[in-house]
Amino acid sequence: SKLSSAMGSLFNLSGNSHRLWSKTAKPFPLSWESVRNASRQHGYAGALLRQQRAVAKLLEGRPLNIVVLGGSMTLGAECPTNWPKRLGELFRELGYDVTVTNLAKYGTTSEWAAHQVHAWLRAGLAAADIVIIDYSINDDASTPKQGGGIMDGPAYVQKAFKDLVAVLASLPSKPAVMATESVHIGLWCDRKMFPGYQCGNCGTDIKEYYHWEAAKELEVPVFYYPAAVCASGSMHWYDEKGRRNFEAHPGSMTHDLFARAVLGSLLLQARGVCDHGFTGADFQPMRPSLEALCLSRPIDSYSAFGGEARFAPVARNGSWTFGEDVPGKPGWLASSNGQSSDISFPITTKAGWVHVEFLGSYTADSSGGAAAGLGTVEVWLDESGGGGPGR
């Protein structure tokens, strides 16, 4: 059958993939047993019905739409490709009509994603059969190492993840929602602060990932990448030159490996449907927090990713300039040398929430930390006196 042929060829590398992998001088780590282990829901069953219905389209020869959400690793930073792109290419090589839309953005988290759903509906999300959440690297940066990290600790990460899942699962199209847990990278690991905490290696347990408790509570299917590769003794997190690398941005070889592992998981699910039909359960009804529900349908929304013209202030002093302190991470940058400076944006409000996100500074202090260069942000609202928008 077509499915059997696809499963027979997925892990038999040829061409450029074989050339890239030969740089490591190691056996290819994926097997159907390792991918099956990575696809198991460790500690819970997982609500698999929607995913089973989606992969049934592969068996029926119908088009399948997959949307991937994530940060810079998912986007393919410092790499000519990325795993969602490779996932789509591999599906096509195997003869399947699958569209993979990559909506990843640099420096983003589950919290940010929950607030972008309204915009993404016009960018492919409304037609998604499967949504893959790939925020484990950025969400797990929320350690106390730098005063709270990207978000305010593990409990906040779990709340944000649950809000994102609830918003996605409640879409009219009822997409399957799954999460990938990839790697704890050395950038976020401080063994003096977290003795015994394993980063960038196969000693990490899935329970150390901040998403796991939330995923277990909501029965979210999880693909656990380390379980797919670690039987070989390595995470196989390589840079573009094929060297081992525990930074956030791997090279083409790892993106190809990651894509094959995720594709293998979906093909295993299709095999299960072929053999046994629909055996999974649907998600239980979910309600995102009132804050997330409000912000997923905002009255006004501004994003630096749209460029300066779409994120224009109504007032600012000369210390504010629009630019990128790191490639791919645009925004309004303050250079006030320790002095306070204001920047104002027009907004229309009702009863609800105003949510502001900003990136931390990359300025290092004498001890090598990044927190010293980051100032504070104070936000307030001024009502309009003439019936127009406030700011």
* pLDDT tens digits, 101-110: 999 998 889 9
Inside any domain, residue 138: yes
Residues 52 and 76 placed together within one structural domain of the fold:
yes
Residues 65 and 40 placed together within one structural domain of the fold:
yes
Inside any domain, residue 391: no
Residues 12 and 139 placed together within one structural domain of the fold:
yes
Look at strands 320-326 and 176-181 and give their pairing.
unpaired
Inside any domain, residue 74: yes
Residues 90 and 232 placed together within one structural domain of the fold:
yes
Residues 206 and 335 placed together within one structural domain of the fold:
no
pLDDT at 94 over 70: yes
363 phi and psi angles, rounded to 5 deg? -75, 125
Residue 96, pLDDT score? 98
Q: What is the mean pLDDT of residues 325-331?
A: 81
Residue for token pair 């979910």: 286
Q: What is the mean pLDDT of residues 95-104?
A: 98
Residues 311 and 225 placed together within one structural domain of the fold:
no
Q: Give the predicted TM-score (pTM) of the model.
A: 0.86
Token pair belonging to 235: 């995470």
What range does the domain containing 59 cover? 1-284
Largest CA distance in the chain: 70
Q: What is the mean pLDDT of residues 182-202?
A: 58
Residue 150, pLDDT score? 52
Inside any domain, residue 90: yes
Residues 366 and 242 placed together within one structural domain of the fold:
no
How many CB atoms sit inside 10 A of residue 347's CB?
A: 16
pLDDT at 201 over 90: no
Ramachandran category for residue 386: left, alpha or beta (phi over 0 → left; psi -120 to 50 → alpha) = alpha
Look at strands 64-70 and 98-102 and give their pairing.
parallel
Number of domains in the chain: 2
Q: What is the pLDDT of residues 241-290, one digit of tens each?
A: 877 765 678 999 999 999 999 999 999 999 999 999 999 999 999 999 88
pLDDT at 198 over 70: no
**Range in 117-121, 203-207, 223-227, 253-257 with the lowest mean pLDDT:** 203-207
Residue 371, pLDDT score? 43
Residue 385, pLDDT score? 52
